Amino acid sequence: MPSSKEMLQAIRQHLQQNNQTAGKTAVQIRLEMAESAKQLPLLHEVSAERVDVDGVAGEWLNVTVDPSEKGNGKVILYVHGGGFISGNCEIYRDLAARIAAASGVRVFTLEYRLAPEYVYPAANEDCLAAYCWLLRTGFLPEDIILGGDSVGASLVLMTLITLRDAGDKLPAAAFLLSPHSDLVHLDGESYDSRAEMDPTGSREGNQRILRDYLGGYNGIIPALLSPLRLPLDGLPPLFNTGRRSGSAAE
């Protein structure tokens, strides 16, 4: 039986091997992620339903066995990660299904446009469009929770800031799984001090994320891509778990 230290080291090595993107094209990264996702069967108590309407693409994960019925009338809008260049509903179906099963709440996984085919602000626009679509379909803001991982969590935070600044109604809450909350400055001390502890959030990796999403953007880098440096007052309750190097207050 391996020790906890040995298991942790094995996890780190696995993450390092599966987060090596240097020299790979977006297509290669997408294919590798898709192949990995094929190994994960859909949970029995959850069913998937594809949606492509009003410019919003994604997938409903519906809880078919929910004894508590605690999730009736509520929804989680989930925004996947993937460095802005990869990720889709199929790849994130297992995670979304587990969130739906654990919470008893329907999950809608958004499939936003990816770089380099679609650069800033395409993904941001798609997140806002998905939230507004949920409102149009009859969900109340207080019944919507936003969630995401990696750059998906970044997009969630940016969406909340955009809604707040526009004076629009905000969702009930949001959860952020290892968000990249500052893609502009990349000057966090933990990029160096926690390099061995966090194999998925290197400075070089984040530089690529920013470069891919901005594409040929020639203007001043939008401050919105660094939500950590923006005022966060007035936002709904946020649950932040995990930490990317340099992404949280040092």
**Distance (Å, rounded) from C-alpha 77 to C-alpha 68?**
21
Contact 190, 250 (CB under 8 A): yes
**Distance (Å, rounded) from C-alpha 115 to C-alpha 160?**
22
Contact 77, 110 (CB under 8 A): yes
DSSP 77-89: EEE--STTT---T
- The confidence score (pLDDT) of residue 241 equals 82
DSSP 152-216: HHHHHHHHHHHHHHHTPPP-SEEEEES----SS----THHHHTTTT-TT--HHHHHHHHHHHHTT
Question: Does the domain at residues 4-241 carry the CATH identifier 3.40.50.1820?
Answer: yes
- The confidence score (pLDDT) of residue 64 equals 67
Instruction: Please state, as a whole number, how many other Cβ atoms lie within 10 Å of the Cβ of residue 70.
Output: 10
Q: What is the pLDDT of residues 66-110, one digit of tens each?
A: 445 545 689 999 999 999 999 999 999 989 998 998 898 999 999
Q: What is the pLDDT of residues 181-195, one digit of tens each?
A: 999 988 877 777 776
- The confidence score (pLDDT) of residue 242 equals 65
DSSP annotation of 143 = G
- The confidence score (pLDDT) of residue 71 equals 52
- The confidence score (pLDDT) of residue 42 equals 67
Residues of the chain with pLDDT under 50: 14, 17-18, 66-67, 70, 245-250
- The confidence score (pLDDT) of residue 78 equals 98
- The confidence score (pLDDT) of residue 66 equals 46
**Distance (Å, rounded) from C-alpha 42 to C-alpha 19?**
24
